[in-house]
Amino acid sequence: MTRSDIASKVVEIMEDVFDEDDIAYDDAMTAADIEEWDSLSNIRFVVAIEKEFDIRFSNSEIADLENVGQMVDLIASKQG
Amino acid sequence: MSRSVIEPFALPWLLDPPEDLRSQLKVLRKDAESDAGDLRRLAGYALDLNQLGQMGKAVAARRDDLAASGLRPLRLAIAATHTADFLVEALPATALRHGLLIDSYQADYGQTAQAVLDPSSALFAFKPDLVALAFDPLALGLASPRLDEGGGEEAVQSALDYVTSLRDAVHANAGVGVVLQTLPMPQTALFGSFDAGQPGSVRWMVSRFNARLAAEALGPGDLLLDLAALAETVGLAQWHDAARWHDAKVPYALDAVPLAADHLCRLLAAARGLSRKCLVLDLDNTLWGGVIGDDGVDGIALGQGSGTGEAFTAIQSLARDLRTRGIILAVCSKNEESNALIPFREHDEMVLKEEDIAVFVANWTDKASNLQHIAKVLNIGVDALVFLDDNPAERERVRQELPQVAVPEVGADPAQYPLILSAAGYFEAVSFGDEDRKRADMYAANAARSSAMQKIGNMDDYLRSLDMVCSLRPFDALGRARTAQLVNKSNQFNLTTRRYTEAEVEAFEADPAKFTLQVRLEDRFGDNGMISVVIFDCGEEEWVCDTWLMSCRVLGRRVEEAVLAVVADAARKAGAQRLVGEWLPTPKNGLVEKHFEKLGFTFAGDLADGGTRWVLDLANYQAPDLPMVIERADELAGADA
């Protein structure tokens, strides 16, 4: 899976989790950019990512993430 | 979509939601003119947590429309010592599945005791009908071992005292009941197996707490959600998710939320008297393996000696056990009634007896009509019925015609039926008494049996919705073995019951005096394979039916009309004037006594041994418009095809 494949999958998940259409992907995107992205929906987001890519994040990995681009990189690194 | 592995978190008794669920929900949320009743229908799918949240928003937006639609309102306050927000988010949508309209209030995180002990708290200002008190081992002092002398017992007592004091506060301050819950067993051991018998180990304390909670802590109007049993059924390794506990104090895996919400809602619905009352059972391939009309009482799979037989025994045992707790049993089967009763009367390993069945309906009418009839005879609503049937087409038909009936998605393996039926929790109860013990007998005393039924529902629309493709071609080497098998096995839909060996079938392939057809039917549930075999003797003036048989699985699909259209077309092209058919009675083929009459043939006299002879004048025959695509082999294609 290329990085852009991962990114487009992540966008699909974000649209579902945050119930928002047509999210335009940007590496720098953060919770501040999406209305429904709060601490609770962030957990749903993380779990949905884990399920989709069949990976697990540790608490510290999640805590270190600063934006969506880093999330995509983390997924890519776990996919080997 | 069928699942090969049963995933408890995926609500396996429900169908997967439509692909465009989110956009459907958006319309229902934003367009006040759209039918809010659709939300109830969509809640009947296996929704995940995100989807439940999306639907919850639509439920909130359409609350007034839903309130007017007959849902039972319920105000639920939740005071939890952990993060219950996900559960709360899932409740409004899940509640619809159980006939409830839930408004909820959640006490602030960490404020459980304050909210309940203060009569002027926001929790009580909400005016709840019920208050759910959700604890975890940590909050109750049961998360760490107490190995000091008597410490374990003391910890359990103090946890129970705490729970009951909050319960009493709810009773006193609001005059309503509480929902308590058992504690799922933590996964980590201290000693190992030794924990089980060591007072003060976490396992010992949690077991003891749960047992005492169920036995001692419930007053009138209080309910118990046995979360521990649910977690065990799922498996603790799947149930718990340490990462979620550490980062957000969510007490179980996020994937568990839809299932936990369903269990809470079914409990609340049961307390409102909304649980199902009657289990309606199909017979062939549901209560036993095989088709009684074809296989006979010695040929069906049931009972000891084979895995398949025992799987059906287990289904019957579950039904019998449900009956002993007051669930009414009924039968709804496409069968000759006389055949359908044979196993009940003659098979030694039938667990269910005739007298266990309050209403026994075996006929060839569509099952939706029969289910309405059953509800009427029992004087209960169709929304009190659960319908267990192995046949996906029958299930779909009933779901379309009677969406109020619960139709579990049981898959193809009978060994899983009891598990799925149990997981669905249709018969959740909050009490059990003498009346329940006697109920099944009371209904059995009024046992009614129906054979003739009025047809209702739009059969043609249903058939069209099946996307059937019927393909017809002459006998050939490829289909030979299956043709011979059908010729030698079919008993019920078989006009003449003539048996031929595979060699004879092969000889027909090349015989110009025989017109042969092998018929297959596909529909959107899959390929039914070869389901009909026809042989006509081709005379100059008339073609005479030597063999016409069909699998009862596709009865009522109008396949026989498609067959006739193709035969008539071929006969006309060959210059024949008439088709002649005969019904030769056997103990098993009463079903097709009127076969030719139904197809428009006229009566042409009695035969020896009670048979009848029928004629169709080809000049007067016109092929009907049929709800299926008909594919015929090239050599059969008529001028009009």
Condensed to tens digits (0 to 9), the pLDDT of residues B387-402 reads 999 999 999 999 999 9
**Contacts from A33-42 at CB under 8 Å and sequence distance 24+?**
A39/B248, A40/B83, A40/B85, A40/B86, A40/B89, A40/B248, A41/A17
The pLDDT, as a whole number, for residue B321 is 96
- B315-335 pLDDT, tens digit per residue, is 999 999 999 999 999 999 999
> Who among B57, B243, B250 is closest to A59 (CB)?
B243
pLDDT at B636 over 90: no
Q: What is the mean pLDDT of chain B?
A: 91
Q: Does A38 touch chain B (CB under 8 A)?
A: no
Is it true that domain A3-79 has CATH number 1.10.1200.10? Answer: yes
Query: Which phi and psi angles does B608 have, rounded to 5°?
Result: -60, 155
Q: Do A19 and B86 touch (CB under 8 A)?
A: no
Chosen from B30, B50, B83, B245 to mutate, greatest number of chain A CBs within 10 A: B50
Q: Do A47 and B54 touch (CB under 8 A)?
A: no
Determine which of B280-284, B299-303, B497-501, B520-524 has the lowest per-residue pLDDT on average: B520-524
The fraction of chain B above a pLDDT of 90, given in percent, is 79
> Who among A16, A62, A63 is closest to B50 (CB)?
A16
Query: Which phi and psi angles does B199 have, rounded to 5°?
Result: -55, 135
Q: Do A44 and B50 touch (CB under 8 A)?
A: yes
DSSP state letter for B556: T
Domain boundaries defined on chain B: 12-70, 71-271, 278-457, 467-636
Where does the pLDDT of residue B490 fall: very low under 50, low under 70, confident under 90, or very high at 90 and above?
A: confident
Nearest Cα to A74, choosing from A24, A63, A61? A61
Contact B346, B241 (CB under 8 A): no
- Average pLDDT score over residue span B271-292: 95
The pLDDT, as a whole number, for residue B455 is 38
Across the A:B interface, residue pairs with CB atoms under 8 Å apart total 38
DSSP state letter for B625: P
- Average pLDDT score over residue span A6-32: 92
pLDDT at B1 over 50: no
Q: Does A57 touch chain B (CB under 8 A)?
A: yes
Where does the pLDDT of residue B637 fall: very low under 50, low under 70, confident under 90, or very high at 90 and above?
A: low
DSSP H helical ranges for B118-150:
122-125
> Which of B457-466, B514-523, B630-639 has the highest mean predicted lDDT (pLDDT)?
B514-523
Tokens of B340: 């359908």
pLDDT at B638 over 70: no
The pLDDT, as a whole number, for residue B452 is 30
- B333-353 pLDDT, tens digit per residue, is 999 899 999 999 999 899 999
Q: How many CB atoms lie within 10 A of CB B383?
A: 16
The pLDDT, as a whole number, for residue B565 is 95
> Who among A43, A57, A58 is closest to B248 (CB)?
A43
> Who among B50, B244, B250 is closest to A17 (CB)?
B50
Q: Does A17 touch chain B (CB under 8 A)?
A: yes
CA distance B243 to chain A (A): 6
Angle, CA B256 vertex, CA B254 and CA B258 arms, to 5°: 100
Q: In angstroms, rounded to a whole number, what is the distance separating the alpha carbons of residues B530 and B509?
A: 16
CA distance A1 to chain B (A): 24
CA distance B260 to chain A (A): 16
DSSP state letter for B197: G
The pLDDT, as a whole number, for residue B462 is 75
User: How far from the centroid of its chain's Cα atoms is residue B543's Cα?
Assistant: 45
Q: Does A55 touch chain B (CB under 8 A)?
A: no
The pLDDT, as a whole number, for residue B456 is 38
What's the 3-state SS for A1-70?
CCHHHHHHHHHHHHHHHCCCCCCCCCCCCCHHHCCCCCHHHHHHHHHHHHHHHCCCCCHHHHHHCCCHHH
Provide, as residue numbers in chain B, all residues whose Cβ is less than 8 Å from the Cβ of A19: 22, 50, 53-54, 57
Q: Which residues, listed in sequence order, are joined to residue B329 by a DSSP beta bridge? A: B279
- A33-79 pLDDT, tens digit per residue, is 998 899 889 999 999 999 999 999 998 999 899 999 999 999 999 98
Is it true that domain B467-636 has CATH number 2.60.120.10? Answer: no
Same fold, B71-271 and B278-457: yes
DSSP H helical ranges for B446-580:
459-465, 480-489, 502-510, 559-573
- Average pLDDT score over residue span B264-282: 96
Where does the pLDDT of residue B458 fall: very low under 50, low under 70, confident under 90, or very high at 90 and above?
A: low
Q: Do A43 and B254 touch (CB under 8 A)?
A: yes
Could you give the C-alpha distances from B81 to B137, B139, B204, B578, B617, in angstroms and in order? 10, 6, 22, 82, 81
> Who among A16, A19, A59 is closest to B247 (CB)?
A59
Chosen from A43, A60, A62 to mutate, greatest number of chain B CBs within 10 A: A43
> Who among B22, B247, B250 is closest to A62 (CB)?
B247
Q: Does A20 touch chain B (CB under 8 A)?
A: no
- B63-99 pLDDT, tens digit per residue, is 999 999 889 999 999 999 999 999 999 999 999 999 9
- Average pLDDT score over residue span B8-23: 95
Pairing of β B100-106 and β B72-80: parallel
Q: Do A59 and B86 touch (CB under 8 A)?
A: no
CA distance B247 to chain A (A): 7
Architecture of domain B71-271: 3-Layer(aba) Sandwich (3.40)
ipTM of the complex: 0.86
Domain at B278-457, CATH from 3.40.50.1000, 3.40.640.10, 2.60.40.420, 3.40.50.300: 3.40.50.1000
Q: Does A40 touch chain B (CB under 8 A)?
A: yes
SS3 of residue B186 by DSSP: coil
> Who among A16, A19, A43 is closest to B244 (CB)?
A43
The pLDDT, as a whole number, for residue B444 is 58
Nearest Cα to B93, choosing from B21, B19, B8? B21
> Who among A19, A44, A63 is closest to B254 (CB)?
A44
Q: Which positions in chain B have a beta carbon within 8 angstroms of at least one beta carbon in chain A?
A: 22, 49-50, 53-54, 57, 83, 85-86, 89, 243-244, 246-248, 250, 254-255
pLDDT at B625 over 80: yes
Q: In angstroms, rounded to a whole number, what is the distance separating the alpha carbons of residues B573 and B633?
A: 15
Provide, as residue numbers in chain B, all residues whose Cβ is less than 8 Å from the Cβ of A48: 50
Domain boundaries defined on chain A: 3-79
- Average pLDDT score over residue span B559-564: 96
